[in-house]
Structure 1
């Protein structure tokens, strides 16, 4: 498997561009993509395996960025903030069946109603899920990723939104944060889903699955 890199960027929120990026998912996407080669062609984000998630904690705000290619952090603007990268290889190599882990993901939980249902109930082509329906969606995704969930806590997040510069198309991806404890059932499948991301909106801060070792399951 290609090496995955995990980068942590701690923004200087006194910097105008950093403040703008962390308020707008589209601007953040553009800033992230600038850290990588620009000659990849179509579906560059997918080919480079770029996924990211903004975190706000009592200690401050930061960005987690995962990619198949190490980003060029020298491209970050002066006074944008601090950053460092490290390979995810030790974590991924340690995954084994039955290993207890903690997980976190900001995901866009949605469903696509059949056209007959759309017409009957005047539904949009893509419907955002919340509450128990969102949790059921995540349970299916986790099972398909080789995880057996023990606990799940779901928190509805602000949508990942913004306006694309090229065509002025508005981006709006509903987000739910899922976190809890799980056991690994299929390490190979899990490694692949970590690399690929889960769900929609991967270009705008959704789909990055993070794992950390947990204590023995009770």
Structure 2
């Protein structure tokens, strides 16, 4: 497994093209591998990616993948071809040292959704959580299955609402709207709408194996479009 980081040169036309279309960026990421990655079965490592738009106007692309990627084509389109590059790190040593009880800061961009049924007898429909409260609730519901617990705020700090109970911030809400060809009917174009949010916070590892699975297979839906990739960093 590899963790890769690349910085976009946002002044370039190619960068703007990639950053405004999750479908085009997904294709560019997948083209970074000489051998086409096998289709994931839900339990095996897969190619995950995420865009981080930082406060200093840096836009970073993170990729977690079973194989080391070659981002030459992305550098040529959207980076600094003569002075810029990308960094890839072996991920296994980091994953192997995860231990129950450890505290980490985390970042996750996800597509928090739930299934609803408007009428009895109708099939359920996947719908995005719109409010911050429900988006946080979605993350809290993932905890047990994902093997971690979101840290609570220290008891001495005020908690005006239940939203202030946890050490997590929900931000950077974005609506992605694009078209996609129907693989079953090549002439049909589907309109796709995906709501994404980013979570920054602190967590405690309860089950290291489950957390390793989340870090390598993703969390939630819309993984092909920049969702599901969680990264950890040492807690301050």
Q: Could you say which TM-score interval applies, normalised by the shorter chain?
A: 0.7 to 0.9
Q: Map residues 123-142 of structure 1 onto 2, 5 A cutoff.
A: 125-129=125-129, 130-142=131-143
What whole-Å deviation, never above 9, does each CA across 1:176-212 have from its counterpart, x for those lacking one? 2112111111101110111110101000010001111
What whole-Å deviation, never above 9, does each CA across 1:56-90 have from its counterpart, x for those lacking one? 11331111111111112234352531322111223
Q: Map residues 157-176 of structure 1 onto 2, 5 A cutoff.
A: 157-164=173-180, 167-176=188-197
Contact 2:14 2:77 in 1 (8 A): no
Match of 1:62 in 2: 60
Q: TM-score, normalised by structure 1?
A: 0.84
Mean alpha-carbon deviation: is it higher for 32-41 or for 135-144? 32-41
Q: Alignment length, in residue pairs?
A: 208
Mean alpha-carbon deviation: is it higher for 83-92 or for 43-52? 43-52
What whole-Å deviation, never above 9, does each CA across 1:144-188 have from its counterpart, x for those lacking one? 111111122112511233223665322221112112111111101
Task: Give every structure 1 segment of 4 or more consecutive aligned residues whose post-TM-superposition deviation is greater than 4 Å.
Answer: 38-48
CA distance in 1, matches of 2:9, 2:138: 36
Distance 1:99 1:124, change over 3 A: same
CA distance in 2, matches of 1:7, 1:207: 16
Q: TM-score, normalised by structure 2?
A: 0.78
Larger Rg: 2
User: 2:100 is paired with a residue of what secondary structure?
Assistant: coil
Q: Map residues 74-153 of structure 1 onto 2, 5 A cutoff.
A: 74-76=72-74, 78=76, 80-81=78-79, 82-113=85-116, 117-119=117-119, 125-129=125-129, 130-150=131-151, 151-153=167-169
Q: Structure 2: give runs of 5+ residues left out of the alignment.
A: 80-84, 152-166
* Alignment partner of 1:193 is 2:191: no
Contact 2:45 2:216 in 1 (8 A): no
Per-residue deviation at 1:43?
5.5
Contact 1:108 1:128 in 2 (8 A): yes
CA distance in 1, matches of 2:123, 2:18: 32
CA distance in 2, matches of 1:68, 1:42: 12
- In angstroms, what is the RMSD of aligned CA positions? 2.6
* Alignment partner of 1:50 is 2:47: yes
* Alignment partner of 1:26 is 2:42: no
1:178 to 192, 195, 199: 199
Q: Structure 1: give runs of 5+ residues left out of the alignment.
A: none
Contact 1:160 1:205 in 2 (8 A): no
